[in-house]
């Protein structure tokens, strides 16, 4: 069942985000003005993020309501009704201790105590969601700003090393360690994609120039990219921590994180904030959202790719959070990284691009890392099955 679930998650992530990438590429080129004479580019990355997070929260709540148990309260569906979970644990403990009353180990647990504990835990959980949303909202502008100083291949190369900050932030923030083979897989996947990108014959496109293309400008771009990667690592490690500490589903987390992201990005996009480098680049009397809406009115052809970008991103997140809940952030990052690799291979087949020998070596290293992870997973599943069979045999012998 776990193998089938993982396969469906991989298929969902690949299909949705391939369509998402098509829309993203379309949004990066100029759109025709209603006058039919001029073309302009859509530049509001914050507006794009808000549309996607809004639709993601809607798709998450729809999934939760459809798949939820009939008769469940709204707080239970949204993963905030922790009192019943506490009551279940206490009842289980009391039965274990041979008592069917309201005392556990000699201490009474009143309903008011349970309610207070549940309320406190729910607030802590919501603060965790808000923390992740803040990381996401802050990370995107730094990644976008980095492209003003470094080339796009450099950006992709840096993003392909995302596995490293995920493991680093898991250790720094939550002291979480991983099995030795995880480090081998991380090293192989990261090295393989780096080799694939580094040995390409295609010349890197020029970075968007703002008059500073020297070594100082590149240093600023690398700094922005490092900040973006650190925030991304904090996002993944905090999500892992939430799944470990709280019994929530991936879709519940998806709903709350995207809801808070929508609120935060809407505040940044609509409030009359002064010019803030990276975080709020718009200046003057108009907000960033006002500029974006004005662009849509004068360039209606942007609507279709904008909807496609937001909708496929929202549906893709359902598969992402399903993967995150059941397989962890490292598996998710490997899926997203290899999706980029498959996209490149598909491009080679469809558009007859030529790969260098170094790029084929890089692809081999990546798939070798994936094979190591699959081999170890298969051994773990086999060992669990053997253990279960032994336990069943012991029970029958009794």
Tens-place pLDDT, residues 80-94: 876 444 444 444 444
* Greater model confidence, 305 or 18: 305
* Greater model confidence, 308 or 250: 308
pLDDT reported for residue 140? 80
Q: Is the pTM of this model over 0.85?
A: no
pLDDT reported for residue 100? 47
pLDDT reported for residue 88? 44
Examine the pLDDT at 5 and tell me if it is beyond 90: no
pLDDT band at 207; cut points 50, 70, 90: very low
Please state the length of the chain. Answer: 398
Please state the rounded mean pLDDT for residues 16-35: 81
Examine the pLDDT at 280 and tell me if it is beyond 60: yes
Task: For residues 237 and 169, give the distance between their C-alpha atoms in angstroms, rounded to a whole number.
Answer: 6
* Greater model confidence, 396 or 152: 396
Task: Tell me if residue 276 falls in helix, strand or coil.
Answer: strand
Task: For residues 230 and 139, give the distance between their C-alpha atoms in angstroms, rounded to a whole number.
Answer: 8
**Average pLDDT of the residues of the chain:** 75
Identify which of 135-149, 287-301, 382-396 has the greatest average pLDDT.
287-301
pLDDT reported for residue 185? 76
Please state the rounded mean pLDDT for residues 286-297: 86
pLDDT reported for residue 390? 78
296: which 2 tokens? 């849509």
Per-residue pLDDT tens over the stretch 215-274 = 677 778 778 888 888 888 888 788 878 888 888 888 898 899 999 999 999 988 888 777
Residues 6 or more apart from 356 whose CB is under 8 A from it? 199, 200, 201
Identify which of 51-65, 234-248, 310-324, 328-342 has the greatest average pLDDT.
51-65
What Å distances lie between residue 267 and 6, 50, 167, 191, 272, CA to CA? 37, 10, 32, 39, 9
Please state the rounded mean pLDDT for residues 58-63: 90
Beta strands per DSSP E along the chain: 31-32, 39-40, 103-104, 107-108
Please state the rounded mean pLDDT for residues 156-185: 71
pLDDT reported for residue 4? 85
Task: For residues 97 and 103, give the distance between their C-alpha atoms in angstroms, rounded to a whole number.
Answer: 10
pLDDT reported for residue 117? 63
């Amino acid at each position: 069942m776990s193998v089938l679930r993982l396969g469906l998650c991989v298929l969902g992530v690949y299909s949705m985000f391939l369509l998402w990438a098509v829309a993203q590429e379309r949004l990066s080129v100029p759109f025709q003005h209603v006058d039919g004479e001029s073309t302009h580019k859509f530049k509001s990355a914050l507006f794009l993020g808000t549309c996607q997070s809004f639709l993601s929260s809607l798709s998450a709540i729809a999934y939760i309501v459809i798949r939820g148990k009939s008769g469940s309260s709204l707080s239970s569906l949204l993963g905030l009704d922790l009192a019943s979970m506490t009551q279940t644990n206490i009842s289980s403990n009391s039965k274990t201790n041979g008592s069917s009353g309201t005392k556990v180990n000699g201490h009474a647990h009143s309903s008011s105590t349970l309610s207070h504990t549940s309320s406190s835990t729910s607030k802590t959980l919501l603060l965790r969601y808000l923390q992740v949303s803040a990381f996401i909202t802050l990370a995107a502008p730094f990644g976008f700003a980095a492209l003003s100083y470094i080339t796009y291949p450099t950006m992709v190369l840096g993003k392909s090393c995302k596995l490293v900050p995920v493991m680093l932030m898991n250790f720094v923030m939550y002291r979480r360690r991983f099995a030795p083979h995880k480090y081998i897989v991380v090293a192989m996947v990261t090295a393989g994609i780096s080799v694939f990108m580094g040995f390409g014959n295609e010349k890197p496109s020029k970075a968007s120039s703002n008059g500073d293309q020297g070594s100082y400008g590149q240093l600023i771009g690398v700094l922005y990219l490092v900040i973006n990667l650190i925030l991304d690592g904090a996002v993944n490690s905090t999500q892992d921590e939430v799944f470990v500490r709280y019994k929530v589903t991936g879709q519940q987390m998806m709903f709350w994180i995207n809801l808070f992201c929508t609120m935060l990005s809407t505040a940044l996009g609509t409030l009359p904030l002064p010019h803030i480098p990276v975080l709020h680049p718009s200046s003057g009397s108009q907000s960033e959202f006002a500029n974006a809406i004005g662009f849509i009115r004068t360039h209606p052809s942007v609507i279709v790719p904008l909807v496609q970008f937001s909708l496929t991103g929202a549906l893709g997140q359902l598969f992402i959070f399903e993967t995150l809940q059941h397989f962890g952030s490292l598996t998710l990052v490997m899926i997203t990284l290899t999706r980029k690799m498959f996209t490149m291979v598909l491009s080679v087949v469809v558009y007859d691009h030529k790969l260098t020998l170094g790029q084929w070596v890089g692809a081999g290293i990546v798939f070798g890392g994936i094979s190591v992870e699959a081999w170890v997973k298969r051994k773990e599943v086999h060992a669990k099955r053997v253990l279960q069979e032994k336990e069943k045999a012991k029970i029958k012998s009794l």
